[in-house]
Amino acid sequence: MSAPAAVLGTTPYVAYAYSYPHKTSYQPLDPPRPLRDVWLHERQESLFLYLHVPFCEFRCGFCNLFTFANPAGDWTKRYVAQIRHEAEQVRQALPDASFTRLAIGGGTPTFLEVDELSKLLQVATEVMGAQPKQIPVSIEASPATATSEKLSLLREFGVDRLSLGVQTFDERDSRSIGRPQRTCDVEQTIAHVRAIGFPVLNLDLIYGGEGQTMQAWLDSVKAAIQYQPEELYLYPLYVRELTGLGSKPHSWPDQRLPMYREAREVLLSSGYEQVSLRMFRKPQMSNDEGPVYCCQSDGMIGLGPGARSYCSTLHYSTEYAVGKSGVAAILSDYLDRPVADFNSARHGFVLDDEERERRYLILSLLQVSGLDRSDYVTRFGRDVVEAFPHLRELISSGLVEEDRYLRLTTTGLELSDAIGPWLYSSRVQRLMESYTWH
Ligand SMILES: C[S@@+](CC[C@H](N)C(=O)[O-])C[C@H]1O[C@@H](n2cnc3c(N)ncnc32)[C@H](O)[C@@H]1O
Ligand code: SF4
């Protein structure tokens, strides 16, 4: 399909291409691949360590992440113990790995009790050898679970970026997206985060829910700006299968594009700069703080089910699910897994040279800073437009500008969630289409 038809034709909101390939394209690896072999010829001196916490205090109506609400009994304790076992196996397979980034995400990591959170942090240092005081460390939190005691523990450990899911400061809008949240909890948590002194506060907001007015949306954006967060993520709402919102009849006028445009204006005129369709930050925040890590090319070790790991030739994780029973089955399988099974990759996607180039293209082009063409030639030995001639269609339809860089235009940026999927390979598209949501 030509770019204007596929990208300009229907909706700008096809899929959020935050990584490539998507986990729904992963397949069973048969036979499983020992991690030692997977990583043997890979650079291991600049890796990203990611710890996943797939638990939350409730399941928000919009949320399609791999997470489980209100786990019963001893699941969180067993989870923290099991992630340590997994880490020990991974460390044995990659004894020389060193980490230049650490992130703890979810789900809601701050759902864990203080002692569980503390044990989880010890996995990163004692087992994996991460040095949180010397590298950027980020964590996700929800307002009601981020108590001052947990926040102090995190700051002392070396967390310098705290990302808080706010979604909205308006309780009517919060109800309509299925998030039981009190604005006073949000305000109190932000005050605690500021008092404890995390260098970077990020706030997540969502726009486009049923009945949300432009006024209410912009009021939430302005309420967020009042706290002068170093970063702000504005998420267009996606109503996905097997979520609370997706399982009910859902149809209302789509206001996402005008809402994005207005909020963008407010943020730019308040001194924020745009990094991508969703991300805005204060100008003094620079990408290259801390040791160098390049998300397009350096590897990641993810621990816990739902976490993806990747090196140049293989991306892998546990199976993926969104629905309650699918997530519960994967989690309970993880909790019962024999420790020795953690030393191999069982489910993933093998990247050939072309997929590696494509991944680099997608992750670079969807950033406002764009794709540096000479850098691309140095990495892959050919010009990016020569490698992917259909980029010409984006250029000729005014969605991408070319000089030394390929950069999305303002219209192109608005269409990021259509351009990303349009650049997926036919193999990835086929695999994603054949995935059965569960
Ligand atoms: C891991 S959560 C954030 C931390 C924490 N669990 C919380 O909700 O407060 C990641 C973010 O993804 C966004 N998100 C999740 N599902 C979404 C969807 N279907 N549409 C738009 N944004 C979504 C939300 O803004 C959410 O804050
Ligand atoms: S948005 Fe956050 S709190 Fe809500 S279900 Fe998703 S991960 Fe959990």
Ligand nearest to the CA of 139: 1
**DSSP tag of 130:** -
Banded model confidence at residue 285, pLDDT cuts 50, 70, 90? low
Q: Ligand 2: list residues with CB < 6 Å.
A: 56, 59-60, 63, 65, 67, 106-108, 142, 165
User: Cα separation of 146 and 158, whole Å?
Assistant: 16
With a 6 A CB cut-off, is 77 part of the ligand 1 pocket? no
Residue 277 Cα to ligand 1 midpoint, Å, equals: 15
Residues 275 and 365 in one domain: no
- Say whether pLDDT at 326 is over 80: yes
Residues 76 and 183 in one domain: yes
With a 6 A CB cut-off, is 106 part of the ligand 1 pocket? yes
Of all protein residues, the one whose alpha carbon is nearest to atom 16 of ligand 1 is 63
Q: What is the largest CA-CA distance in the chain?
A: 58
DSSP code string of 30-52? EEEEEHHHHHTTS--SSEEEEEE
What average pLDDT is seen over the chain?
A: 94
User: Cα separation of 402 and 18, whole Å?
Assistant: 23
Atom of ligand 1 nearest to the CA of 105: 1
Note the pTM of the prediction, 2 decimals: 0.95
Mean pLDDT of 415-420: 96
pLDDT tens-digit series, residues 19-44? 899 999 999 999 999 999 999 999 99
Residues 118 and 230 in one domain: yes
- Say whether pLDDT at 79 is over 70: yes
With a 6 A CB cut-off, is 203 part of the ligand 1 pocket? no
Is 290 among the domain residues?
no
Mean pLDDT of 161-165: 98
Of all protein residues, the one whose alpha carbon is nearest to atom 3 of ligand 1 is 165
**Which CATH number covers residue 380?**
1.10.10.920
With a 6 A CB cut-off, is 140 part of the ligand 1 pocket? yes
How many structural domains are present in the chain?
Answer: 2
- Say whether pLDDT at 3 is over 60: no
DSSP code string of 311-337? -SSEEE-S----SHHHHHHHHHHHHH-
Is 169 among the domain residues?
yes
Is 209 among the domain residues?
yes
Angle subtended by helix axes 114-122 and 75-93, to nearest 10: 10
Which H, E and C letters describe 373-424, residue by residue? HHHHHHHHCCCHHHHCCCHHHHHHCCCEEECCEEEECHHHHHCHHHHHHHCC
Atom of ligand 2 nearest to the CA of 56: 8
Contact in structure between 431 and 22 (CB atoms under 8 Å): no
Q: Tokens for 359? A: 């991944």
Residue 62 Cα to ligand 2 midpoint, Å, equals: 8
Atom of ligand 2 nearest to the CA of 107: 7
Of all protein residues, the one whose alpha carbon is nearest to atom 17 of ligand 1 is 63
Residue in this structure with the two tokens 């892998």, named with its chain if needed:
316
Residues 239 and 153 in one domain: yes
Is 54 among the domain residues?
yes
Residue 43 Cα to ligand 2 midpoint, Å, equals: 34
Mean pLDDT of 44-53: 96
Is 211 among the domain residues?
yes
Contact in structure between 26 and 430 (CB atoms under 8 Å): no
Residue 253: burial class (beta carbons within 10 Å; 0-12, 13-18, 19+): exposed
Ligand nearest to the CA of 54: 2
User: Cα separation of 8 and 341, whole Å?
Assistant: 46
User: Cα separation of 48 and 309, whole Å?
Assistant: 9
Q: Of the residues 261, 281, 301, which one is the last residue of a structural domain?
A: 281
Q: According to the model, what pLDDT value does residue 58 have?
A: 94
- Say whether pLDDT at 73 is over 90: no
Is 17 among the domain residues?
no
Ligand nearest to the CA of 141: 1
With a 6 A CB cut-off, is 206 part of the ligand 1 pocket? yes
Q: Of the residues 281, 315, 344, which one is the last residue of a structural domain?
A: 281
Residues 277 and 162 in one domain: yes
Any bridge partners for residue 231, and if so which?
202, 281
**Which CATH number covers residue 84?**
3.20.20.70
Mean pLDDT of 110-136: 98
Ligand nearest to the CA of 55: 2
Is 63 among the domain residues?
yes
Residue 58: which domain range?
A: 31-281
Residue 172 Cα to ligand 2 midpoint, Å, equals: 18
Q: According to the model, what pLDDT value does residue 321 have?
A: 83
What are the respective helix, strand and coil percentages of the chain, to the nearest 5? 40, 20, 40
Beta-carbon contacts of 286 under 8 Å, excluding residues fewer than 6 positions away, are none
Residues 108 and 235 in one domain: yes
Atom of ligand 1 nearest to the CA of 142: 9
